Amino acid sequence: MKVLIAIPVHNEQKYLAKILEQVRGHSAGCDILAVDDGSTDGSGEVLRQIPDIVVLTHERNKGYGKTLADAFEYADQWGYDWVITLDADEQHDPARIPDFVEMARQDDVDIISGSRYMKEESSYEQVPGDRRQVNYLITVLLNNILKLSLTDSFCGFKAHRVAGLRKLRLTVPGYAFPIQFWVQAVRAGLRIREIPIKLIYHDPTRQFGGGLDDATIRLRHYIEVLASELTDPVGPVLLPEGSAFFCPCSRC
């Protein structure tokens, strides 16, 4: 089984050297890819100094979703069976990589998604209130519509079967990417499993950038992406029987 560890990077110079050292220490037999999404803080220089990793560089910032889509395309082009994604800001513990690899080896699922909220002892107080509320609302919506049982729809620590990714057409470039991903994964019949991971928040003041720093605007944007994906004219939206669309905003 050929596994790629893919790490999206945007202005993570503060954490990069440490996180990549940890990833290398827990990814024996795996290759490592970093996608630098137009960093301006010296992250690119740090990446170029680290041996034994492949670096893709966006000359300008294209967004979190585009960064992941490029990592998926790279994995497919180079013949990987699985691609494991995790963030570069130390919110994901690289020590869990072997657990994702072992579960992938069991060969009975297509998406293995980390959840920061499966453990009762998780300290939710670490998560800024507006993020916790928006993430909760979107997770409830996705579960209601898609008949899933997710506890954390926005976690970026995942293992993806590359053959399953070929069935998806992922075009959302920004932070709403996971919403499109879940709709298409269900539409494609991909098998999904969540596993618990540690909830880590080193910097609760971090921002999304632009209007998305406003929780109301961010929630509205996420709902608009969800509604658009559910009515995608490219093909029929094949959702589980009994699915319902409930939207908490006043416009839908």
Reading the chain (252 residues) residue by residue, the pLDDT tens digits are 999 999 999 999 999 999 999 999 999 999 999 999 999 999 999 999 998 999 999 999 999 999 999 999 999 999 999 999 999 988 899 999 999 999 999 999 999 999 988 865 445 555 555 667 888 899 999 999 999 999 999 999 999 999 999 999 999 999 999 999 999 999 999 999 999 998 875 555 555 566 666 778 889 999 999 999 998 755 434 444 444 433 333 333
Could you write out the three-class secondary structure of 166-180? CCCCCCCCCCCHHHH
Strand 54-58 and strand 31-37: pairing?
Answer: parallel
Strand 3-9 and strand 31-37: pairing?
Answer: parallel
Q: How far is CA 11 from CA 5, 121, 206, in A?
A: 19, 31, 12
Rg (CA), the chain: 17
Query: Where along the chain do its domains lie?
Result: 3-126+149-203
pTM: 0.86
At the topology level of CATH, where does 3-126+149-203 sit? Spore Coat Polysaccharide Biosynthesis Protein SpsA; Chain A (3.90.550)
